[in-house]
Amino acid sequence: MSRKLVHIAVLISFLFGVLTLNAQNLSDIPKTGLIKLMVDSFENQICSYYSIEKENSNEAFFKYVNDFRANNINFKEITSKEELELLEVSNKTLKDYIWITNKEKNERFFKNYEEENQIQIIEVNDSREKNTKEPLHTNEVSVNYFDEYSNKLLEETKVKDLKEILATLKEMPDTSPYTTSFSFTYLNKESYNDSSLKTFIAFELYYTVLNILNKNE
């Protein structure tokens, strides 16, 4: 076998090994690494969708948020197997760090409210029949804005509007990605260069929706 063929064979073996390793160890990478992979993957999708170069991705984020607000997003067209696999891994790896159920979100909100106002909220018994199969709180997954993830975005972002949005989402847990999207109405394109804002949009306005769509399928 010629030296050139040997090099090609070694390269193919190396690449196959890397791909296999990545597939096996995706759930073992650090939280920050997984988050970056997910944001980058989403960024690549919307840049391709809007035919915008990666270096101008702020324009793609700007368009995406406006289309999201106008309910003009076809999620099947901007979602590949890669995003779905990353999302599946994140639901385990980023559990509690990013993903919490709406029940947990409400519990955290009331706990914080009690601590901040030094009062105790008395639980009201549900009046519905005890035998009903309908859960009192949905197990639908949403983003945790009470802990480290949110604090990290607050510390790193230079976008004042994002700081205000994060504070609002902590104080008003009963919001949806759609209502949140209206908070960006007056945000200029340059603001979308902010990496924290990109991360926020990727999870709040994309991966959260994918989680909901997957559960309803």
Measured distance CA(149)–CA(131) in Å, rounded: 38
Q: Which of 138, 159, 156, 141 is nearest to 204 (CA)?
A: 141
At CA 211, angle to CA 208 and CA 214, rounded to 5? 150
pLDDT tens profile 135-160: 444 578 899 999 999 999 999 999 99
Residue 81 lies in a domain: yes
pLDDT of residue 82: 94
For residue 178, give its domain range: 31-118+138-216
Residue 203 lies in a domain: yes
Residue 9 lies in a domain: no
pLDDT tens profile 156-172: 999 999 999 999 998 88
At CA 203, angle to CA 35 and CA 65, rounded to 5? 130
pLDDT at 126 over 50: no
**153: which 2 tokens?**
């975005």
Q: 């070694």: which residue's tokens?
A: 10
Residue 187 lies in a domain: yes
Q: What is the mean pLDDT of residues 116-129?
A: 51
Give 131's contacts (C-beta < 8 A, 6+ positions apart): none
Residue 128 lies in a domain: no
3-state secondary structure of 188: coil
Residue 180 lies in a domain: yes
Q: Considering the entire predicted model, what is its pTM?
A: 0.79
Instruction: Give the residue, 8 or 140, on which the prediction is more confident.
Output: 140
pLDDT of residue 171: 85
Residue 8 lies in a domain: no
The answer to whether the CB of 54 falls within 8 A of the CB of 44 is yes
pLDDT tens profile 185-214: 889 999 999 999 999 999 999 999 999 998
The number of distinct structural domains making up the chain is 1
Measured distance CA(87)–CA(23) in Å, rounded: 14
Residue 24 lies in a domain: no
